[in-house]
Structure formats: C-alpha cells, structure tokens
Amino acid sequence: MRTRVKFCGITRMNDALEAAALGVDALGFVFTRESKRYIALENACVIRAALPPFVACVALFMDDDAVWVAEVLKKFGPDYLQFHGNEDAGYCDSFASPYLKAIAMGAAQNVAAFAAKYPGAGGFLLDSHAVGAAGGSGETFDWTRVPRDITRPLLLAGGLTPDNIADAIRQVQPYGVDVSSGIEAAPGIKDSQKMRKFIEEVNRVSA
C-alpha cells in the first residue's frame, strides 16, 4: 500500500492547493502560537474551504489551552488533532475527536510503553524534537530505533526531505510520513519543486 503523506505547517493557499494537486493525503495547520508556522484560525478556515475532497486537515497543538483547541475544533473542523507536547491521554481524549500523538524519539524513549498510555490515539507521530521544544526542526533521529511490532499506525517525522524519504520508507516501512521544513523555502513557505520531488519519491518507493 502507498505510504500516506502529510505536509505540515501550511500557511499559504497556493501551497495547500499545489499539495492537494500532487496527491497529498493530509495537510497540517499549526495552531500553537510559538511556532514559526503558526496560522491564524481565520486564514486556515479560508484555505480549508478551498480544498478538494479527500484531503484530510490536521490541527497541530503543543500544550495548548483546552479552550483554544475547542475553538479550533468548532470553527476549523479538523479531521484530526495532533498533540505535540506533554499532553496526557485524559486531555487528548477530552475533545472526543480523532487525534495523533507525537512521540519524541529521545534516546530513552520506549514507543510501545508510550503508546499503551494513549489507547484513544488513532496513530503516533515519531519525531526527533525534544518534548516542550518547538518542533519542525528539520532534524532526523536514528530510524533503527523505530520498533517493528507496533500494531497501530506510525507516522515517521523529523528531518525528512526529498533526498532521504526513499531510504526512510525502505528502512522504516511506516504507515505514513510527515514533513515540514524539508519541503520549505523558508519557515511556513513551501517550495513547489521540493513538494513535487517528495511526492514523486514516495510514489516511486511505495508503489
């Protein structure tokens, strides 16, 4: 099956439409305000309304106030929430909405034990970022540390680029991949050629 692709950190209409035309499965919108890729809720809603069918929208948060998450849920209506901080399962489940939980792949991380604490998560995003630090750093982690026996969907993230995505998929065989800085010209500004090359590489190795 083709590896699913999420492009994260969308801030511009044209980037979203180009990504959709390339066949991306999901677009990520960063609603945590410290991020360089933060998008105002009103702008995200305008982009969302212009997307063709079957492009999932993901709303990313990092230790945000529950009131803010609820407001985004109500107005933006994401298909998935993505929690990228220290949120516990009670907090994540409290929104009664499908969600992905990020796992920071520090040296001591035990993915199976972490995942067991979040029975309500639809999947897990394995990222190189330190918990509490802003993500989207463009740094990879040691992919040999991804366990093969996790039965729930895993999305590989952290430092993926058009040049390393083929190796990443061959090595990790993830359910999906998630990329932000590796397809950018600058934070929040996607690069058309990098987006295209990234999708071409995913299609080439996972066809």
Ligand X SMILES: O=C(O)c1ccccc1N[C@@H]1O[C@H](COP(=O)(O)O)[C@@H](O)[C@H]1O
Residue 127 bears catalytic tag: yes
CA angle centred on 134, ends 131 and 135, rounded to 5°: 85
Report CA-CA distances (Å) from 95 to 5, 168, 203: 25, 33, 34
Q: What tokens appear for 129 in the block?
A: 């970022």
What distance in Å separates the CA atoms of residue 114 and residue 117, rounded to the nearest whole number?
6
Cβ closest to ligand X, residue 103 vs residue 149: 103
What distance in Å separates the CA atoms of residue 117 and residue 109, rounded to the nearest whole number?
13
State which of residues 127, 146, 154, 199 lies at the interface with ligand X (CB under 6 A): 127
Minimum distance from CB of 148 to ligand X (Å)? 22
Interaction mask 13-52, ligand X, x per CB under 6 A? ---------------x-x-x--xxx---------------
Residue 8 bears catalytic tag: yes
- Told to check if 158 binds ligand X by CB under 6 A, we report yes
Q: Point out the catalytic residue in the list 25, 64, 127, 178.
A: 127
Cβ closest to ligand X, residue 149 vs residue 186: 186
8-state DSSP, 11:
-
**Catalytic site residues?**
8, 127
